[in-house]
Amino acid sequence: MADTRQIADDFVQLWGRLGPLWGVTPIAARVYAWLVCQTEPQEAEAIGEALGISRGAVSMGCTELVDWRLVHADRGAGSRRIVYRPETDPERVIRSIVQTRKRREWDPILEHVRPWIAALRGDRSTEAVRLRLQFEAIERLITVADEFADRFLQGSRVQQLGLKAVVAFARGSSKVRRKTP
């Protein structure tokens, strides 16, 4: 029989190591993974105690996760205490990650590169032309990725992308069947 507690602990550690690859701090990633393993929303004190991190670190991690829309902060009726619950719908998690990364990474690049391209158009020097062409290539690539992300976030291409089928498969739905050769 599997040691559920050990598997959950391993999951939390794995997520902590992978978080930075997705743009999330290791502590925030560990908090999210730990919350996913819980059956009920948790208070910051319980999170900190379970993960061996300070109340301040928990607060910063949860704030980051709320910003990513990966965790929801709720107050019980008549209570001042905040409890945190993870977003567990895989499609919402993916959409939140794509939207946050787009906002934090692609949007600022486009906001800066476009005026630089316009400013360089008037300069015919070899260096200015080379730099403008490089910036235009960056802009084209990010614009394509940005448009794809926008369509994905709006849901207009979800069926064509097959994300619903992937999510259903991940959930173990019997509606998704593999084609046999």
Per-residue pLDDT tens for 114-166?
999 999 999 999 999 999 999 999 999 998 888 887 777 776 545 555 556 55
The model carries a pTM of 0.72
Contact between residue 15 and residue 30 where contact means Cβ atoms under 8 Å apart: yes
**CB proximity list for 149: less than 8 A, separation 6 or greater:** 98, 99, 102, 106
| Distance in angstroms (rounded) separating the CA atoms of residues 142 and 146 | 6
The top-level CATH class assigned to 4-86 is mainly alpha
pLDDT surpasses 50 at 180: no
Instruction: For the beta carbon of residue 174, count every other beta carbon within 10 angstroms.
Output: 6
**CB proximity list for 176: less than 8 A, separation 6 or greater:** 165, 168, 169
pLDDT at 146 (0 to 100)? 81
pLDDT surpasses 70 at 61: yes
- pLDDT tens per residue, range 67-116: 999 999 999 778 889 999 999 988 888 888 888 888 888 899 999 999 99
Per the structure block, which two tokens stand in for 70? 């990966």
